[in-house]
């Protein structure tokens, strides 16, 4: 099947999902027009396009279901609380998608950002998780302008990072796949701080079966105080 046709099929397949999502968001606002309702009522078959999900299919899926929050280039969006995904390890990304969909992440009442992503992961067929992860992993990282960090904080963050974190996340914070430790360089300070606090309080990593999350929870325990936590997040955001 040619690429254009594949893309067209994926678009058709995604439309009902989007319409359903918008309808749910709209609550009791006026009904959709009948054309859209018909599309929602009769989802076209996805097999074929999905079965051998090539990069083109996945690009369409990403653009339709993920880019609104994570950005067209996977660069993330601080206002949406959505992290950078481009260039991240495929295995890590796929694991997080499974964690969100399977109830290991994003379940706490105090985790609004995680809950919104859990809903998204639950809305995607799990057979797309690995193709999506592979697609994102090879996406070039688009550098984002992050807030400048004061010199003293940079020095503190760097010291903390090199002494407690670099052994797993690598000196340049590009991650070490064999350690299951993701890249952290260039992620927003806001996102990193939230994750560190989530690990610390058990919002993330405490669910039964989240082996690597539990490992990272133990590591957060090595941060002495909030000032160290904020400094290391700020430092990483500048890399």
Interacting residues with ligand HEC between 167 and 206 (CB under 6 A):
167-169, 179-182, 184, 192, 194-196, 205
Q: Residue 197 Cβ, how far from ligand HEC at the closest point, in Å?
A: 10
Least spacing, CB of residue 74 vs ligand HEC, in Å:
9
217 contacts ligand HEC (rule: CB under 6 A): no
Query: Which segment (36-44, 77-85, 137-145, 149-157) binds ligand HEC by CB under 6 A?
Result: 77-85
CB of 165 to ligand HEC, least distance (A): 3
How far apart CA 192 and CA 190 sit, in angstroms, is 6
Beta carbon nearer to ligand HEC, 37 or 107: 107
Q: Rounded to the nearest 5°, which phi and psi values hold at 238?
A: -90, -10
Of residues 63, 64, 81, the one with CA closest to residue 72: 63
Binding of ligand HEC by 207 (CB under 6 A): no
Considering CB under 6 A, how many residues would be counted as binding ligand HEC?
Answer: 44
Q: Which is nearer to ligand HEC, 6 or 191 (CB)?
A: 191
Report d(CA 146, CA 83) in Å as an integer: 13
Task: Report which of 216, 219, 229 is spatially closest to residue 182, judged by C-alpha positions.
Answer: 216
* 89 lies in the binding site for ligand HEC (CB under 6 A): no
Site for ligand HEC in 110-169 (CB under 6 A): 113-114, 116-117, 120, 124, 132, 164-165, 167-169
Smaller CB separation from ligand HEC, 37 or 130: 130
Interface positions with ligand HEC (CB under 6 A): 65-66, 68-70, 80-83, 85, 93, 95-97, 113-114, 116-117, 120, 124, 132, 164-165, 167-169, 179-182, 184, 192, 194-196, 205, 212-213, 215-216, 219, 222-223, 232
């Amino acid at each position: 099947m040619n690429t254009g046709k594949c893309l067209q099929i994926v678009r058709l397949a995604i439309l009902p999902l989007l319409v359903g999502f918008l309808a749910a968001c709209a609550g009791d606002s006026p009904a959709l027009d009948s054309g859209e309702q018909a599309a929602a009522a009769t989802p076209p078959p996805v097999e074929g396009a999905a079965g051998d999900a090539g990069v083109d299919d996945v690009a369409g899926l990403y653009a339709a279901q993920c880019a609104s929050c994570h950005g067209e280039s996977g660069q993330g969006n601080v206002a949406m609380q959505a992290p950078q995904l481009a260039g991240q390890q495929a295995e890590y990304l796929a694991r997080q998608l499974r964690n969100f969909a399977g109830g290991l992440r994003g379940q706490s009442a105090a985790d609004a950002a995680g809950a919104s992503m859990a809903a998204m992961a639950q809305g995607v067929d799990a057979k797309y998780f690995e193709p999506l992860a592979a697609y994102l992993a090879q996406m070039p990282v688009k550098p984002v302008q992050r807030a400048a960090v004061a010199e003293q904080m940079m020095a503190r963050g760097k010291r903390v990072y090199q002494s407690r974190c670099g052994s797993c996340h690598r000196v340049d914070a590009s991650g070490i796949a064999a350690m299951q430790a993701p890249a952290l360089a260039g992620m927003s300070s806001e996102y990193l701080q939230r994750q560190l606090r989530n690990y610390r309080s058990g919002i993330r990593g405490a669910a039964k079966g989240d082996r690597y999350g539990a490992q990272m929870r133990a590591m957060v325990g090595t941060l002495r105080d909030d000032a160290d936590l904020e400094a290391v997040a700020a430092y990483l955001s500048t890399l």
